[in-house]
Amino acid sequence: NAGVTQTPKFQVLKTGQSMTLQCAQDMNHNSMYWYRQDPGMGLRLIYYSASEGTTDKGEVPNGYNVSRLNKREFSLRLESAAPSQTSVYFCAINRRSFNSPLHFGNGTRLTVT
């Protein structure tokens, strides 16, 4: 998935620990998104950023914070991880156009014990 880089690829946390998931893009797109994917639940939007300096809540924002550092980078922070946050997290981007397809990174697989 050229253009969207997520780090780390894998992470194991203990309950209560914090971490930041990083997403960077080199496609010069305005909009960036964080999704989580869980078996049987499909993809759910956590937060999104329509442009640099703006962020908005998605469907499941509780327990997360985000930061749109600049046009290229959008980070997702878990302040106090919980087992319910065990999931695969995907960053996605698109142009600021409703006709633009969504491009995804390869994901971060997070396990909280």
Partner 1 sequence: KQEVTQIPAALSVPEGENLVLNCSFTDSAIYNLQWFRQDPGKGLTSLLLIQSSQREQTSGRLNASLDKSSGRSTLYIAASQPGDSATYLCAVRLITQGGSEKLVFGKGTKLTVNP
The H or E element that residue 56 is part of is strand 56-57
Contacting partner 1 (CB under 8 A), which of 80, 102, 111, 113? 102
Round to whole Å and give the CA distance between 34 and 21: 10
**Measured CA distances, 8 to 20, 36, 91, 95 (Å):** 9, 15, 12, 25
Tokens representing 8? 């780390």
Contacting partner 1 (CB under 8 A), which of 14, 53, 62, 98? 98
For partner 1, what does the binding mask look like between residues 1 and 30, x meaning CB under 8 A?
Answer: x--x--------------------------
Note whether 105 binds partner 1 by CB under 8 A: yes
Minimum distance of partner 1 from residue 69's CB (angstroms): 21
Round to whole Å and give the CA distance between 29 and 103: 10
For partner 1, what does the binding mask look like between residues 49 and 68, x meaning CB under 8 A?
Answer: -x-----x------------
Name the percent of the chain in helix, strand, coil, to the closest 5: 5, 50, 45
Task: Specify the stretch interacting with partner 1 by CB under 8 A; choose among 13-21, 68-76, 79-87, 96-104.
Answer: 96-104
